[in-house]
Chains A and B, each alone.
Chain A
Amino acid sequence: MSVEIIFKIAGIGLITAIVNQILKHLGKEEIASVTTLAGLVICLLMVLDLVQDLLNTIKNLFSF
């Protein structure tokens, strides 16, 4: 529970962008858009775990 998850998500974002550029130069636009979506979904899944942790912590602490 520290900064490495931030670096992970930033890394995924950068890699997705690079792959996007490469695929565009190769002329495969449709695959490029799909890889962008894939990168976004991966990041969303990682963030969802954190959101769940946060909401559970708040639920326990403030006795919702």
Chain B
Amino acid sequence: MDIVKVVAVGLITVIATIIVKQVKPEIAMLITLTGSIIIIILSIQMLQGVFGSFMSIFNKTGVSNSLFVPVLKIIGIGYLCEFSANLCVDGGCNSIADKILFCGKITILIIALPIINSVIDVVLELL
């Protein structure tokens, strides 16, 4: 899905938002949300291929697959928190955006803990 379509959707969304903002501010917010969702859905489909090749590379290294799933989760949480936080900033509520990012960081920490433990175990075995 080439970049031209994403740019087109983005510009159309901005113009529609400006038009409707004078008349109905709340619906303008919905248009911004719709436009960003369309762009993200179109771009995430491109990621499918990338993750497929990551998986094959990861399998070649022989490391157990369970280490790769948390990495995927962390990337997903990062995308989601970034997406919603920016939308909250657009809507004018910066405090809510910070709360979302704060919760995202905590979730990522929780997911990353088992990996840290496994690394420490491996190091202890070496010593």
* A13 touches which of B20, B47, B48, B80 (Cβ 8 Å): B20
- Known contacts: A3-B12, A6-B34, A54-B40. The answer to whether A40 contacts B72 by CB under 8 A is no
Inter-chain contact total with CB atoms closer than 8 Å = 93
Contact bitstring A43-62, B, C-beta under 8 A = 1, else 0: 11011001101100110011
CA distance A28 to B33 in the complex (A): 32
Are A10 and B73 interface neighbours, CB within 8 A? no
Q: How many residues of B contact A (CB 8 A)?
A: 35
Are A10 and B47 interface neighbours, CB within 8 A? no
Residues of A within 8 A of B (CB): 1-3, 5-7, 9-10, 12-14, 16-17, 36, 39-40, 43-44, 46-47, 50-51, 53-54, 57-58, 61-64
